[in-house]
Structure 1
Amino acid sequence: MSRIFISHVERDAELLQQMQEGLEAAGYSTWFFERDVLPGTSYLIQITEAIE
């Protein structure tokens, strides 16, 4: 299965969330900042790990 890292500007978050939901409904695995970054943790580390 393909994995997709979604990067965007904040003003497009709602549109990208809809796109992410559609991709997951089609069977793709996605990483979406607003959903997948845990509060209180290093954004840099989490983003780097998601890309790898």
Structure 2
Amino acid sequence: MPPPPFDPAVDLVPVPEQDRAQWDHAAIAEATRLLERAVAHRPARQNQHLAWN
């Protein structure tokens, strides 16, 4: 079984090697809601989208 996102023995584990079943899906959903809410209230500045790629 792949390791969780954080493994004390190796620090961070690359996403392709993670066991996504171990992710905290409730926390991910809450973070997504908060980010979508923040983005909806503040339009991106010109070329700001380029920094996200």
Could you state the TM-score of these two structures normalised by the residue count of structure 2? Answer: 0.32
Which is strand-richer, 1 or 2? 1
Q: Which has the higher contact order (CA 8 A, sep 6+)?
A: 1
Task: Give 1 or 2 for the bigger CA radius of gyration.
Answer: 2
Could you state the TM-score of these two structures normalised by the residue count of structure 1? Answer: 0.32
